[in-house]
Structure 1
Amino acid sequence: MAPANPNLSESDRAALVGQLMNARRAVRDALASGDSAALREARAAVDAAKVALGERGPVWWDGDADLNRRMAKNTPYAEWYASLDNQT
């Protein structure tokens, strides 16, 4: 999981985490009820909360690109990764 944007105030972060938890419960409930429209809406709410928290969407930090969810061999860390002894 990506970290939340540290530039958010504690009150904003707490409110967004609350929204995320509510949206996740809505996903659970929609799955249980089989309501596909509610499920789409709930998943959109999860995504919106994660974007607002900085866990998805444009990067909030300065510097290098987001290499999360990339295979190491396809990143600038490829040489380092290839040198590790514990590859399977």
Structure 2
Amino acid sequence: MTTMLTSTTRTETPARDELVLLAAAYSELLAASRASVAAAALGETDPLVYVRECLAGHGQLPLAGARPSRLLAQSAVPSTHRAGVA
């Protein structure tokens, strides 16, 4: 029983570590987004600096001339909602 528990724990650790990193990246992007909205409300000259720096830090800045609608479409996740299911 102990061997099985140890084996399961070892295989779950990489997935758990990946989830922790994903949650941290999401939290960072959310904070940058909120800071940009607050900066815009205060009339700062470059409110997107927070989001831009966050994206750059992850190598995710869009290419020059990229169209916003295309970027949004690329990130679209197929709907998992089934008709008739509440």
Say whether the fold is shared (TM-score over 0.5).
no
TM-score bracket, shorter-length normalisation: 0.3 to 0.5
Q: Which has the larger Rg?
A: 2
Greater percentage in helix? 2
**Greater relative CO, 1 or 2 (CA 8 Å, sep 6+):** 1
- What TM-score, normalized by structure 1, do the two folds share? 0.42
- What TM-score, normalized by structure 2, do the two folds share? 0.43
